[in-house]
């Protein structure tokens, strides 16, 4: 690592490994992963060469949305362990040189949270307005037409207050009134609690849902076109989310994080048009460090044009934030199953890994992505995910991307647990298990380690500019520049070969790619002569 790389914030250009706690490692034989299990596997994660881990929620929760419905922001759910287990995990990660990022869910809580229990008890109580409450229309119907992401109206009647409360997701996830200064102070206190324990940053969940239109105006109908599996899809989400005051709250959060130094913040921004919000949430030096959307996560196909457009949407310009990229995560079906035929998946996985680790920005790896894990077909009677159940069979379930990690090909449940796992293991995952790939120098696991190590030694890949973006059919080319160093990247997304005809030193290549020729799904990084 050169001097400039060493002087850059640790998170800039970092590779972050996402761990879904339920599915990584079970340490107590109850079929569900836990914090002690994660701690026991951190040597493996550190050996990948990643800079940080991101832990999906492990907080106290009824688990109706698997931890994104929080009943206590400042404690660990007994399913995952204790605060002492978290502290031990954090200490072990830091000892291995890994930073730890955790989720923060500020748009809503569980209806089991004490704040909501107090809010619903009476209209004039201390926390009466901590959530979004509204009187019914004269005919008793909800106050407006807002719809829930998981299906049905975005309002639920509460007989205790004789009012409706708002929820953008499940009815058991009431919407916090983040406009209220007292709520903002409480959320900042939550952040401070975890910063005091030593976490290194936050991934902010669904932050564009954090504030609503106080006038409760109806959303307009969406124009015709596009897939519609939920009432939510029939509206333009103008008023139930994306309020212009959200960045002001993020400035307060950033100021708090800056008190602790070198922390990293990244926003999740969903929806069909997230770009303006991602830019607003990361603008300047007083808001979040980074953001990612769903350009790849929900893409039907990963193509040269899809990637080129995503790159172009995050130019290097004054005032624009630093991008982050994820090809798959806990909210999207496994990318390989969406994008590649079965006989092409191994080659596609190698190509996609080189691409991800060549982009300008932070790279987020979802657990098992370094193994090429595929989407698991979960039968309807085994589904756990409320979104999948509500929309079955029109969407691939999130459950199929949340199945147990494949550790040992010949072990019961692939080494994840000695008990029956909460979700079935993938039928084809034994051949992809860690122990099998660790024994094969040509495996995707070894390739991932080599590419991460390369990224750390090449400032052009970790910090450099990206330009010369060109698309020709399914061939994508771009350059990464840092000082006098110029790296050229070519990626063939097609199952047919392409001539290339470049010169220079090859520093990484997959699927038999050379400077002269790209085989099917071939990809290459070349250093220009003299650079």
Active site residues: 205, 259
For residue 344, give Cα distances in angstroms to 341, 351, 474.
5, 11, 15
Nearest partner of 491 among 468, 509, 466, 506, judged by Cα = 509
For residue 335, give Cα distances in angstroms to 322, 327, 328, 404.
23, 7, 6, 17
Nearest partner of 288 among 185, 207, 169, 401, judged by Cα = 207
Nearest partner of 372 among 454, 430, 293, judged by Cα = 430
Element (DSSP H or E) covering residue 158:
strand 155-158
Residues with Cβ < 8 Å from 159, sequence gap 6 or more?
none
Q: CA 174 to CA 167: how far, in whole Å?
A: 5
Q: CA 362 to CA 376: how far, in whole Å?
A: 27
Q: CA 464 to CA 486: how far, in whole Å?
A: 9
Q: Which residues pair with 134 in a beta bridge?
A: 164
SS3 270: coil
SS3 79: coil
Phi, psi of 470 (to 5 degrees): -140, 140
SS3 479: strand
Give strand ranges (E) for 261-309: 264-268, 290-292
SS3 of 163-195: the string is EEEECCCCCCCCEECCCCHHHHHHHHHHHHHHH
Q: CA 96 to CA 324: how far, in whole Å?
A: 23
């Amino acid at each position: 690592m050169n001097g400039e790389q060493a002087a850059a914030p640790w998170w800039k250009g970092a590779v972050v490994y996402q761990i879904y706690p339920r599915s990584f490692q079970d340490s107590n034989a109850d079929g569900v992963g836990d914090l002690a299990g994660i701690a026991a596997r951190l040597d493996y994660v550190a050996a990948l060469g990643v800079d940080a881990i991101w832990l999906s929620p492990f907080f106290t929760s009824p688990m109706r949305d698997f931890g994104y419905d929080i009943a206590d922001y400042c404690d660990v759910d007994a399913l995952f362990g204790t605060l002492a287990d978290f502290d031990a995990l954090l200490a072990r990660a830091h000892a291995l040189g890994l930073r730890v990022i955790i989720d923060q869910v500020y748009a809503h809580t569980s209806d089991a949270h004490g704040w909501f229990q107090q809010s619903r008890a009476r209209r004039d109580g201390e926390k009466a307005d901590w959530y979004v409450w509204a009187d019914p229309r004269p005919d008793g119907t909800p106050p407006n037409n807002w719809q829930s992401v998981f299906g049905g109206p975005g309002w639920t009647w509460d007989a205790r207050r004789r009012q409706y409360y708002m929820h953008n997701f499940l009815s058991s996830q009431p919407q916090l009134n983040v406009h209220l200064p007292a709520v903002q102070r409480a959320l900042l206190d939550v952040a401070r609690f975890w910063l005091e324990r030593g976490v290194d940053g936050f991934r902010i969940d669904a932050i564009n849902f954090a504030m609503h239109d106080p006038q409760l105006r109806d959303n307009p109908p969406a124009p015709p076109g596009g897939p519609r599996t939920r009432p939510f899809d029939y509206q333009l989400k103008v008023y139930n989310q994306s309020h212009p005051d959200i960045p002001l709250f993020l400035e307060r959060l950033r100021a708090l994080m800056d008190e602790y130094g070198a922390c990293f913040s990244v926003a999740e921004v969903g929806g069909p048009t997230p770009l303006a919000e991602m830019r607003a949430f990361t603008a300047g030096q007083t808001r979040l460090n980074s953001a990612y959307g769903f350009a790849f996560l929900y893409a039907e196909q990963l193509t040269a044009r899809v990637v080129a457009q995503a790159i172009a949407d995050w130019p290097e310009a004054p005032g624009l934030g630093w991008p982050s990229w994820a090809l798959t995560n806990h909210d999207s079906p496994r990318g390989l199953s969406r994008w590649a035929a079965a006989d092409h998946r191994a080659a596609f996985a190698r190509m996609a890994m080189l691409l991800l680790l060549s982009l300008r920005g932070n790279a987020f790896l979802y657990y098992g992505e370094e193994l090429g894990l595929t989407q698991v077909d979960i039968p309807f009677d085994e589904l756990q995910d409320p979104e999948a159940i509500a929309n079955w069979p029109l969407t691939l379930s999130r459950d199929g991307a949340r199945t147990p990690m494949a550790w040992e090909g010949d072990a019961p449940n692939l080494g994840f647990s000695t008990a029956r796992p909460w979700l079935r293991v993938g039928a084809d995952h034994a051949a992809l298990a860690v122990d099998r790939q660790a024994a094969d120098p040509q495996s995707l696991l070894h390739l991932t380690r080599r590419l991460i190590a390369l990224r750390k030694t090449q400032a052009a890949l970790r910090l450099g500019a990206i330009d010369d973006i060109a698309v020709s059919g399914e061939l994508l080319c771009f350059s990464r520049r840092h000082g006098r160093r110029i790296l050229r990247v070519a990626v063939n997304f097609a199952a047919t070969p392409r001539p290339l005809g470049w010169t220079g030193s090859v520093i990484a290549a997959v699927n038999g790619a050379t400077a002269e020729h790209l085989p099917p799904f071939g990809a290459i990084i070349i250093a220009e002569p003299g650079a």
